[in-house]
Amino acid sequence: MASDDWKGIVNQILYGLMFTPQLDDDTAGQMAAAMVERRYFGAGPDAYADAIVQALRYDGPLTDEIDTPHGEAGFRDFLGRLGTRLEALRPWPQTPA
């Protein structure tokens, strides 16, 4: 993944949460499953897992490009839980041919 591609992938996650009132564990689990199954999140679980790691290392804002009801701290916390749930679903299915 190019050095700045992760931000666009994280924006996909944030956009997917625009109408989600609570960033809870159930939401993290549902979103992780959708990533593994490539529902709504076509880049596949590898791309999202990598982007989450890079986002959590980034010290700049993650919610600055999309108007969202979720604050920076809440979104960062959710990304951490999402990453954990995504990793728990390994091994992921191979990329479809």
Distance CA 12, CA 14 (A): 5
Q: Count of domains in the chain?
A: 1
Note the pLDDT tens digit of each residue in 7-36.
999 999 999 999 999 999 999 999 999 999
Taking the CB of residue 96, how many other CB atoms lie within 10 A of it? 6
Note the pLDDT tens digit of each residue in 58-84.
999 999 999 999 999 999 999 999 999
Residue 53 CB burial class (10 angstroms; 0-12, 13-18, ≥19): middle
* Domain hosting residue 73, numbered range: 3-87
Residue 63 lies in a domain: yes
Residue 64 lies in a domain: yes
47: closest CA among 95, 97, 96? 95
pTM listed for this prediction = 0.92
Residue 97 lies in a domain: no
